[in-house]
Structure 1
């Protein structure tokens, strides 16, 4: 019986690992159950047996990887806000609570850790009907907590601008993380100077850049020029007057008579 349980556990773990990699590399919508079972070396019935559907399989990955990460982020944010009851919270600490858990998790030793940043991107990019409302709702709730905390920490920046900047932080953060686990383009562009597998270095570079951007002054809004109303009937322009012909002066014949 124990051997059978071990085999079942191995099959389930293999399906989770293979599907996490395929979802991370190709996207949720591009991968079919048959793609997963073919790589995992199991039949389609195994996915239905353990997970019921591709959507539920993604939920299981979310439960395994992403939900613990979100809980850690919120726990750190709770602590920051509790320590700043009578003052504005420190924006740098808020950014660290957002970034550091993901960097630490993505360089972990378990089989699923390398796929974490790309899977996070999938939960933001994929339509809600594909991954389920609960995943999208939880992601939005965490994002809203961080946006509101940043708004309290940086009162001179409007809530609208905080939302823009939070999203830009998120985009830059995920780009660097996914590049580290994929193309490693930054390493090529820097001729090897930038090691995107150096977690502490990534964190410090991100914090320095994002903190400067998120606390900076509001952008100046471009002035809108009022459109000039054209008259209904625009008369055609009069043709330019023709210059008068030059009169020839009579010139007596200079030849001798």
Structure 2
């Protein structure tokens, strides 16, 4: 017979496991207490007893996975810095200290398991303010240690430029790790060959390191993109000029009954294909509408940049 303590422990573990799976699937904003109770087969009173709120529950989910992960990361980074002091350390060493513990935990069901990489990818890709605030509040020293290590490995790169590149490269990699199709990507990635964790990580690191070490844009590259922007702006201006002007704040004018009758007769006599084309055009969403859907998960760094860049 189970004791009251073991029963309470089992209930708490089921709640955490259910919350973790839901968070991986739908993110922080999509996870609700009702979904958790249904997945864990518990009542709401049990959730409130153990955690009191969704935020406290989510903190427990993150802490039980990320605390041991970051402890392993820092220990491995210490060992790497001792083996390759100062500027002898390479980007590959820092990348290894960042990802080797994650790969190890993904092979240990008791502390991570097969879904661990997806959890990690979701954590770093989820754009909810709660998750971002939690990461910066609890793991800022870890981020700082790794940033300094990357800076020593790339002394020629200004720190501001390094931060920009790390944000794009690592977040893009996190989005891949969090995707549902990761299991399908790996066989294609390895091309049916047996690869060690070190080989897989070397392949992934090569792409990240290449992004970090990429040269700054040359004048020829900037000139080519400026030319494309100019063409795009001219096209946009031409499209805007063809649009009928509407007084600001005014509703579109309604045609009179007689004026509306003539277009109606033309519509009835037009071909079905023309009607379908007109329906497709009029159903297009208006850019900038308040009902515009947010970008889908996984988050893309380019999407983040476009949402935050200043609009002219």
Query: Of 216, 219, 233, which residue of structure 1 is paired with 2:217?
Result: 219
Task: Tell me the CA shift for residue 192 of structure 1.
Answer: 7.9
Kept after mapping to 2: 8 A contact 1:107/1:199: no
CA distance in 1, matches of 2:186, 2:78: 36
Task: Tell me the CA shift for residue 33 of structure 1.
Answer: 0.6
CA distance in 2, matches of 1:197, 1:154: 29
> Cα distance 1:112–1:94, how it changes in 2: closer, same or farther (>3 A)?
closer
Question: What are structure 1's unaligned runs of at least 5 residues?
Answer: 228-257
Structure 2 length normalisation: TM-score?
0.61
CA distance in 2, matches of 1:47, 1:197: 42
Larger radius of gyration: 1
CA distance in 1, matches of 2:48, 2:156: 53
1:7 equivalent in structure 2: 7
Task: Tell me the CA shift for residue 195 of structure 1.
Answer: 8.0
Structure 1 length normalisation: TM-score?
0.73
Could you give the per-residue CA deviations for residues 180-201 of structure 1, whole angstroms, max 9, x where no partner exists?
x64535258x398268997444
1:202 equivalent in structure 2: 200
CA distance in 2, matches of 1:27, 1:35: 12
The number of equivalent residue pairs is 223
Kept after mapping to 2: 8 A contact 1:23/1:31: yes
Tell me if 1:39 matches 2:36.
Answer: no
Kept after mapping to 2: 8 A contact 1:55/1:131: no
1:135 equivalent in structure 2: 135
Kept after mapping to 2: 8 A contact 1:187/1:195: no
> Cα distance 1:191–1:98, how it changes in 2: closer, same or farther (>3 A)?
closer
2:191 equivalent in structure 1: 193
2:64 equivalent in structure 1: 64
> Cα distance 1:219–1:158, how it changes in 2: closer, same or farther (>3 A)?
farther
Q: Which moved more, 1:200-209 or 1:23-32?
A: 200-209
> Cα distance 1:121–1:31, how it changes in 2: closer, same or farther (>3 A)?
same
Q: Which moved more, 1:144-153 or 1:27-36?
A: 144-153
Question: What are structure 2's unaligned runs of at least 5 residues?
Answer: 231-312
Q: Which moved more, 1:31-40 or 1:73-82?
A: 73-82
Could you give the per-residue CA deviations for residues 39-73 of structure 1, whole angstroms, max 9, x where no partner exists?
11110011111111111111111121011111211
TM-align CA RMSD: 3.1
Kept after mapping to 2: 8 A contact 1:66/1:116: no
